[in-house]
Structure formats: structure tokens, C-alpha cells
A and B are shown apart, each in its own frame.
Chain A
């Protein structure tokens, strides 16, 4: 029976051509086409990948260059000369405090008397100036 079925399949023809062969040829054609499409897509992808990799390499090279340039500009000797030239100097001990000491430091600026001194002047000035002003008027 099976043998007959197979035989029938092979004898199933159209215009003297076996269907099985036509189907086979079509399948092969589809396969070739799909392989071609897949290959073309892969080639496109790999070209993109190559381009990206080239870009990455170039960018990496640029990063290295910039990093080296930044390091060159941050040479300690150069920075020292620049900061001395700008009138900067290491912070003195009495100019330093940590967060904990801040509350204890607050009274210290008071002897400077900046706000205290200004206040009486402001208060006194109108008192002294008022008669002068009146006199002028």
C-alpha cells in the first residue's frame, strides 16, 4: 500500500512533469531566496556593526587623547603656578573647621563687629544728619 502511495505521488504529473519535482524546485527556489535575503541582511548588519566598532575605536581614541590632555593641564606644577599667580594659597589652620565645630565657631566672627559697627552708624547718622539736613532746608 505504502509503496503504491509513493508510486502515485511520483506518477502525479502535470503536462508530463512530476508535481513532486515542481514542488521540489519551488522549495529550493524559496530556500535560495530566503538564504539570499538572510545573507544580505546579515551583511548589512555586519557592515553596521563594523562601522559602529570603528566609531567606538575612534571615540575611545579621542577619550584617551582628551584624558591625556586633561592630565597634562592638571600637572601639579602648572596648577601651583597658576594658583599662586591668581593669589591663591593653601588654607591656613585658623581658616579651617569641620562640620561639628561650626556651632562653636559661630561666636568667633563677632569680634569682627561688622554688623554691630554698621548698625550704630546707621542709627547715629540720621540723628546727626537730621539737624544738618534741616538746617540745609
Chain B
């Protein structure tokens, strides 16, 4: 046992230069270690050995207790709060990148399905020739050059993305070495061409590109994270009827295009929206030219006489006319050198109702000229004819507006020329005119937007318009739209298109804007159906012939879905409401 006084301890002379040479910190550390190491000897030298031992024991105990308390706390925390430890996991079960889209009744419109990318590692393929022929047989759509290149390469590469589970199974069953599959989430539209334009598409990154997918991108992603469906206002049954009838009519008429919209006049909800021709969003690349265009939101048309509803509504609402006002349509109406005549010439003095029913250009032109530019522009503005139709869809296009509002232009506007609007604008304006006079944005959200809406015409004007529309179907140009017992009201529209600077009768647009049921109180539940057939090439081009029958058939078939009761029409025209 050493009796050396350790308070005067000095490390061996040889060690000192090493630590001091390396770093002053290292020297300090070694001195501290030596200090602790020799504390026992120091204490004994101070003649307090018991105290020293106890201090050591207490210190070591404290250190161990501290460590174990920390460990215990850590273990408790990991057990109770760690990921996957608790029952309520952080991620929602069934969370998706994008929610499934459904119609208002829960029928599936768009969903995400896991597809598989086929990868081949050529170094693990035994017989490349056999693999080539077998894969080609199982997957005829695989590009043979691509497959050959991957098989002859040296690295694992993708051969074909987007295999369906069935295709994957077919390849898997070949039991070839070196083949593997990587799951990838894909947006699928199981309805194919149905509602294709409306739904739009989403890219492989899960972002909406067009249609509803784009318009509600954030909401769809949020619903997907919650594992919920995203419901639209659409009713698939109505959509199906509309599409089928529209396609049949467009086909029969040899049309260039056709559109149809069904909207709830009370809430502004879109129940059906069809654009023809259509395409398969699952195979967008093969869509024919122009088929991917949503003609409801993005195509402009000079719509013709359906605008007479607006002119007459403006005249009624300003008090310039009532249903019995007589208007002279006995001879052509001249504005400067321009001669305005009637297509269905009556050559007599007509009441306002007859002007509407006989679709008199002279009558509405007189009204338009009399009401003046400001009034007419004000009403067109109120009806939303001068701005893009308010709806969630980003595709909703702005109209082509008239540059001036002189007498001649107003006369043209009064019967639907000189302004090109989208079918959606026409639907929104018709909705506002028949629902008691409140303009609401159209919506694709189930339940509507709950927007207050703004009053554009009085309830009396709205009732009068409904009465006029009903009369037009009972004994006017819209007879073929009559669906038995459903009190259909509507206005036909027929317009020629501007071809090479001239209005060409061979290129026409026939349309029909309708409401059903047209009777009942202002707040009754009613629906607006608008159909437009673009450039029918066979048979008549008039709206009453190409579009009105479609509306009649559609209404006849969808009334049951909407719960509209049939009532046998009174043989006589309905009593004036006002």
C-alpha cells in the first residue's frame, strides 16, 4: 500500500507531453479522471475513510436510480403512446389518395384501383425467348420492342405499367423467374363514357386535371384521407336516361354534337349533364377529335328563339307588357334597312302570348327596341347571359357578348342572335326564370350550395313565364315535348350558324329549354331540362323537331325518379296565374 501523498500526485513524466501535445481538453479530462480515481486515497489521507465510502455508494445509487427512472419512463411512454401501440392508430383505415366519386344515391362514378407495374430483371430470366413469347401471349398489349429491349438488357426495368389485377394474375400464373410487380394506384372510371365530360380526369399523381376531379380537387383529396366517398348532385339514373336519349337523337339526326342538362330549379343542383359525342376517360388517348370537349360548359351557340323567353320576361317584369298586350306582327318590321320577318308568319296583330307561342321575331324585336339598351342589358346581366355560368367546374366558358346594344342588335338579341352563350348559361337563366325569379349558381354538390341567390324578376313574372312555356307545349311549337301528365312547359329554339360570314340554313342548332311541372305555386319542386342538337344533318333542323321530342322522352322517363306525380292535363289551356 502506498503512503505517497496523492494530493501532490503528478503523472509520470512520459505521459504528460502526450496529452498536452494532443489538446488542452484532453489534459483536463485526464486530470479529472485521476482526481476521481484518487478521491479514496485523498479521503483516507484526510482521515475520513467512512465518509468517503458512503459518498461513493450514495452517488452510485443516485446514478443508477436516475438511469432506471429514465428507462422506466421511456418504456412507459413507448408502451402507451408509441406508434401502433395504442388502439387508435394515427392513419384512418381505408384512407385513399382520392375519394371515390359517387352520385347522389351512392352509385359509384370514379374510384381508385391498385394496378401493377410489370418489372423484369433479365439476369434472373432463364429462357428469354420462352419468357418473351409467354408474356406476349398473356399480355398482347405489351409493346414487343419494349419487352425485347428489357429482356436483352442487364438491369431490372419496367415493361408495362397499369396492369389490372386480372392481368397481373395471368402473368403471375406463368411462373416465370425475374418478373415482379409494383403496386400503383390508378384512377378508374367504371362507367366508361357515362358522365365522362362532367367527371373529368385525374393524373397519376392524384391531382385533378379536368371536370369535377379538378373543380373539387381539394375536397376529394380531403374526403379520401378520411376514407369517405365524395357525393355529387348527379343522379346516375337521370344521367343515364339523358345520355341514352341524347345519343339516340343525335345519331338519328346525324348531328355534329348534342348537349343535355337536367337541373333542380329550386336548389340549382345539376342532376344530369351530357355532352355528345362522348369518350372513354379510361382511354383518353383514343378519344376522337372534339369528343373530349364538354359542350355543356365550353361550347358557345347562338341559340335562337329560346332567347324570346328572356325578352318577354324583361318586357313583363318592367311592366311594359302583360300577357294580353297586343303587338303588331302583321307585316315585316324594319330597323333602318334591315327587314325582320317571322319564320312562322301569322301576318296579324298578336297578343304577347301568341308572340311567344308563334315565336314571332317581329314581336320580340318590337319589345326589345321599345325597352331600350339599358333595360335589355340590365336583364341580360341579371340572367347571367353576359358572364360565365357560375358553377364549380373550371371549364365554364365566358359568353361571346355583343359589342353594341343598338336597335338592330337588340332586335337580334331578342330572338337569340348576336350573342353566343353556353348551354350551362341557358340552363341557369331558365332555372332562375321558372323558380319564382331567383338566380342561384348551379352546383354539383349534393344538397346544393345553400347560396341565398338574387332576385332577378318578380314572382309574378316567373309565374307568367311558366304559363307561357306551358302554353307553348300545349298548343305551340313545343308540342312534341309533352310528356303525358307531367305538365311540361318549354320554348323551342332554332338558329342558323354563321358559316363564312353568312348564316347558313344547312348548319343549324335546334334547342329546347323546358320546365316540369310548369304548374303549381312558386316554391313547388320543379326541374329544368335543356337539350340542344348541334348541326343536325338529316330531317328538320328545328328545335321543335330535333330537341323537343328528346326533352319529352327524357322527362317521361325521369319523372318517376324525381317523384313528380302525373296528372292528366286539362284539355283547355291553363288559366292565367297572375
Contacts and interface: CB of A to CB of B under 8 A. Distances in A.
A3 to B, nearest CB: 16
B113 A96 contact: no
Contacts of A65: 113, 165
A125 B236 CA distance: 56
A77 B243 contact: yes
A85 to B, nearest CB: 13
A64 B100 CA distance: 10
Contact of B239 (A67, A69, A72, A76): A76
B120 to A, nearest CB: 25
Contacts of A76: 191, 194, 236-237, 239-241, 243-244
Contact of A68 (B188, B484, B566): B188
B557 interface: yes
Nearest to B93: A56
B160 interface: no
A43 to B, nearest CB: 13
A1 B243 CA distance: 99
A38 to B, nearest CB: 11
Interface residues of chain A: helix, strand, loop or mixed (majority): helix
Interface string A41-67: 000000000000000100011001101
Interface string B225-240: 0000000000011011
Contacts of B190: 68-69, 71-72, 75
Interface string A87-117: 0001001001010000000000000000000
B114 interface: yes
Contacts of A71: 107-109, 111, 190-191
In this complex, the member of B93, B109, B190 whose beta carbon has the largest number of chain A beta carbons within 10 angstroms is B190
Interface in B163-198: 165, 188, 190-194
Given A75-B192, A76-B194, A64 B244 contact: no
B372 interface: no
A93 B485 contact: yes
A69 B484 CA distance: 37
B113 A68 contact: yes
A94 to B, nearest CB: 8
B460 interface: no
A80 interface: yes
In this complex, the member of A69, A71, A80, A90 whose beta carbon has the largest number of chain B beta carbons within 10 angstroms is A71
Interface in B232-272: 236-237, 239-241, 243-244, 247
Contacts of B113: 64-65, 68
A31 interface: no
Contacts of B458: none
Given A77-B193, A80-B244, A68 B557 contact: no
In this complex, the member of A60, A64, A72, A76 whose beta carbon has the largest number of chain B beta carbons within 10 angstroms is A76
Contacts of A98: 565
A77 B114 contact: no
Contacts of A93: 484-485, 556, 566
A77 B247 contact: yes
A74 to B, nearest CB: 8
B243 A67 contact: no
Contact of B108 (A68, A77, A96): A68
A37 interface: no
A79 interface: yes
B450 to A, nearest CB: 29
Contacts of B236: 76
Given A64-B111, A69-B190, A72-B192, A77 B240 contact: yes
A72 B112 contact: no
A67 to B, nearest CB: 6
Nearest to B108: A71
Nearest to A56: B93
Given A77-B244, A80-B244, A72 B191 contact: yes
A58 B114 CA distance: 11
B140 interface: no
A96 B112 CA distance: 41
Contacts of B74: none
A77 B112 contact: no
Interface of B: 93-94, 100, 107-109, 111-114, 165, 188, 190-194, 236-237, 239-241, 243-244, 247, 484-485, 556-557, 565-566
Given A65-B113, A70-B108, 9 more contacts: A56-B93, A64-B113, A68-B188, A71-B111, A74-B191, A75-B192, A76-B191, A80-B244, A93-B556
8 cross-chain pairs, A with B, having the tightest CB-CB distances, nearest first:
A76-B240, A71-B190, A71-B108, A93-B484, A72-B190, A68-B190, A80-B244, A90-B557
20 contacts: A61-B114, A64-B100, A64-B111, A64-B112, A65-B113, A67-B108, A71-B109, A71-B111, A72-B191, A74-B191, A75-B192, A76-B191, A76-B236, A76-B239, A76-B244, A77-B244, A79-B240, A80-B240, A80-B244, A93-B484
